[in-house]
Amino acid sequence: MQQDFNEKFRLFLARHRRWLAIAMLLLLHGALLLGWNNVLSRGLLVSHLGLFLLWQPIWRGEKKLTPASGLMVVSVGLLFLLWINWWLIALWLSLLIGLIGGNVFATQGRASRWFYLTAELYLMGALLVWVVPHLLGQGGVPQAASAIMYFGLPLFIFGMVAIPAREEPQELQSIDFFYSLLLFLLMVVLVLGSFALKVEAHEDYLTALSSALLIAALVLLGLSWFWSPRGGFAGLEQIFSRYLLSIGLPFEQWLHRLAQLSENVADPRDFLKLAMAGLADLPGIIGGEWQSSDGSGRFGETGNSQAHFESPPLFLVLYAKSPLSPALRLHFNLLVQLMGAFYQAKRREQMLEQHAYLQAVHETGARLTHDVRNLLQSLKALCAAADHGQNGEGCSLQSLFARQLPRITQRLEQALDKLRQPAREESFSFVESLDWWEALRQRYADENLQFEQSGNFANLPIPTELFDSVADNLLQNALEKRKLENSLNIGVVLTLTPGVTLRVCDDGRAVDEKLASRLFTAPVASHNGLGIGLYQSGKLAAQQGYELHLTDNETGHVCFELRDRTSPRKELQKPPEPHQA
């Protein structure tokens, strides 16, 4: 219930902020006209101070005052009522001019800006036309000044009522501290300057005020020139900018340390712990606590003043010696956002490393699965040759086993080496192309394939694992395709000039275009395997300077080609007709 009331009261203050300002100025105007020697003027002044507490842009008006804040407000109010005089009123009007002037520069809406500019003109007029002449106290207030106070200045308040409120903000505004301070000091200079010229030069008030305004204008003009002079000379702007930069030096040093930690520390938890420890060196910070996806921790000491920051999944509480100002909160919020971004990058980097390792294990296992399946196919072919062999073919079978069994043993040893060290860099072995070709023909002698050899028949060295993997994958895929398409003709062509080129073609249906675009770049869906054989073969070919492509994809002419990158591409021939059994 209390929270709902506070929220409604906050919205009320935000929506009726301009009316609070108008009422505050009306009460102040009445108190100025009545003077300070009667009870009514002091009552108006108390009401004016109450409305100011609701309007002021420093504290939120709906918040409860702490005992210390309440004591300070009551003390200021009593001091104002008991020791009220024209000097105190001049100081109060100068403060109001500074606060409202800060609102003018911080407001974005045009109507709100004109509203506060009108209030600023009223306060300046009341100070210079009514309060300062009472300060001088010689001959009373001029008749023209009284006419302006009674009939001229109220028009500014009525003008504030007439300004439309279409752009009235819904939230309490903040003030620009530097502009407020400059306006306050400018009004103090005008008041004291007019008083000094009146007393020392024995001039009338209008002449003293005009002289003070002229001197202030000349000083401001000179400062504006010295701020950014021409002719290549450095001005006050650079000195002031250098001073502001020196304030941020501890933050810059911490950012430099954060960048070094991001380069040198790989573990996200260690990075977060070291970065948090560096926050204790920043001005005003005595300790803190944090919580993240990898755990939580704390550093330094705890204190009553704390500030909460978050950059999910990082949540941070900082303890300070005194409450952090809005500027420091902005600085620390930026630091926490940067630290959270670095932390997230570290976590993503760690996840990518784990994913890369798991992917390497998966790809190695998939490749080994294809190798074992191809070796099993070779063993089945040898067993079939042994079962169907006749007595007179014993020598040829023995010769076949002598050639194939050592090769199968070697390939099994290579598969076991990959399984032991999946991420190590592979060493490639080579074999004479004609020897490899003859072994391939013998392995698939019973599969009704058409083998054709072209070129100058030079016995060129070729990478054994690459050609075995590509040939076995392409031929096994073609044989699986034959089970779906009867009487499918499959041809294998080896070209030995000027490089080594292997082609496997069939006269079946074309490969789906969507599937064909991913055959060698990513694993694909497969009904009888892992769908990774051609992907692994394509990667292996790229590592050894070869290219594996689907060169023709038309129904009746589907052709895959493995060739050296230095070999020119040739027109492919359709697979030869199968010989009659």
Give the pLDDT confidence of 335-366 residue by residue, as tens digits: 888 888 888 888 888 788 777 766 766 666 66
More reliable by pLDDT, 449 or 331: 449
* Residue 100 pLDDT class (50, 70, 90 cuts): confident
Burial of 398 (0-12, 13-18, 19+ CB in 10 A): exposed
**Alpha carbons 275 and 257: distance in angstroms, whole number:** 8
pLDDT for res 122: 92
Ranges 47-51, 317-321, 410-414: which has the least confidence: 410-414
In the chain, the amino acid numbered 343 is Y
DSSP-assigned letter for residue 139: S
Burial of 91 (0-12, 13-18, 19+ CB in 10 A): middle
User: pLDDT tens-digit profile of 59-80?
Assistant: 554 456 677 777 877 787 777 7
E strand spans, 385-468: 430-432, 450-454, 461-463
Q: Where are the domains of the chain?
A: 2-177, 245-350, 430-581
In the chain, the amino acid numbered 517 is S
Calculate ∠ Cα 336-340-345, nearest 5°: 150
Calculate ∠ Cα 262-264-269, nearest 5°: 65
User: pLDDT tens-digit profile of 396-415?
Assistant: 666 666 666 666 676 676 66
| Sheet of 285-292, strand order | 295-300, 285-292, 314-320, 305-311
In the chain, the amino acid numbered 247 is I
Ranges 18-27, 305-314, 380-389, 495-504: which has the least confidence: 380-389
* Residue 581 pLDDT class (50, 70, 90 cuts): very low
Q: How many residues does the chain have?
A: 581
Average pLDDT over every residue of 115-128: 89
Average pLDDT over every residue of 307-326: 83
Tell me the CA end-to-end span of the chain in Å, nearest whole number.
96
More reliable by pLDDT, 310 or 136: 310
pLDDT over 70, % of the chain: 70
The answer to whether residue 513 scores a pLDDT higher than 80 is yes
Confidence (pTM): 0.46
Chain centroid to Cα 292, Å, comes to: 18
pLDDT for res 224: 74
User: Under CATH, what is the fold of the domain 430-581?
Assistant: Heat Shock Protein 90 (3.30.565)
Label each residue of 476-533 as H, E or C. Answer: HHHHHHHHHCCCCCEEEEEECCCCCEEEEEECCCCCCHHHHCCCCCCCCCCCCCCCCH
The answer to whether residue 219 scores a pLDDT higher than 80 is yes
Calculate ∠ Cα 261-267-269, nearest 5°: 90
Ranges 154-158, 228-232, 374-378: which has the least confidence: 228-232
pLDDT over 90, % of the chain: 4
* Residue 576 pLDDT class (50, 70, 90 cuts): very low
pLDDT for res 169: 45
pLDDT for res 561: 92
Identify the residue whose tokens are 């045009």. 110
Identify the residue whose tokens are 């790809």. 363
